[in-house]
C-alpha cells in the first residue's frame, strides 16, 4: 500500500561536534507529528549532518515512528538520508514492533513549496 501525507516538525535541537577545515559536522534531534492520514502519531529522529561554507551538503537519519499505521498500533524505525543535490530523501523501514511487527517498505521525505511530506510504500502482514 502506498500513501503520501504531510507532517509537522515539532522539535529541532541542533549542535556542532566538529567544524575544522570549513566543514561542519553536526547532529540534530528532530520531533515530528503525523495526523489526519494513514499515520497518526509522533516520531523522533537523530540526524547526522555535514555542511560547507556553501550550505548543507548531506544528512543521514535513524527515525522511530510511534502510533498507528492503517489503524494498527506499534512502532517502526526508518533509516533515510540525502545529499544537497537531491530533491528527496530516500529510506527504508528496518524494524517494527507491536501490531506493526513484520512491516516492510520504503519511505521518501520531501520538503518544498508544498510543505513537508512523507510517502510510504509498505506491506503489512495480516493481523
- Encode pLDDT of 10-64 as tens digits: 999 999 999 988 899 999 999 999 998 999 999 999 999 999 988 999 999 999 9
User: Could you tell me the CATH superfamily of domain 2-123?
Assistant: SO1590-like (2.40.350.10)
Per-domain residue ranges of the chain? 2-123
pTM: 0.93
Query: What number of CA atoms fall less than 13 Å from residue 94's CA on the CB side?
Result: 11
What is d(CA 16, CA 27) in angstroms, rounded to the nearest whole number?
Answer: 6
| Bridge partner residues of 55 (DSSP) | 52
- Encode pLDDT of 79-104 as tens digits: 999 999 898 999 999 999 999 999 99
List b or e across 15-51, with b for residues whose CB sees 16 or more CB atoms inside 10 angstroms. eeeeeeeeebebebebebebeeebbbbbbebebebbb
What is d(CA 99, CA 57) in angstroms, rounded to the nearest whole number?
Answer: 37
Amino acid at each position: 500500500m502506498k500513501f503520501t501525507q504531510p507532517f509537522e516538525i515539532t522539535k529541532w535541537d541542533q549542535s556542532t561536534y566538529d567544524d575544522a577545515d570549513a566543514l561542519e559536522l553536526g547532529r540534530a534531534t528532530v520531533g515530528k507529528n503525523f495526523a489526519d492520514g494513514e499515520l497518526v502519531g509522533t516520531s523522533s529522529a537523530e540526524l547526522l549532518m555535514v555542511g560547507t561554507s556553501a550550505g548543507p551538503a548531506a544528512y543521514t537519519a535513524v527515525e522511530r515512528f510511534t502510533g498507528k499505521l492503517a489503524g494498527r498500533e506499534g512502532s517502526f524505525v526508518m533509516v533515510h538520508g540525502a545529499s544537497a543535490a537531491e530533491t528527496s530523501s530516500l529510506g527504508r523501514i528496518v524494524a517494527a514492533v507491536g501490531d506493526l511487527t513484520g512491516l516492510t517498505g520504503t519511505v521518501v521525505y520531501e520538503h518544498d513549496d508544498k510543505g513537508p511530506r512523507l510517502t510510504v510504500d509498505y506491506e503489512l502482514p495480516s493481523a
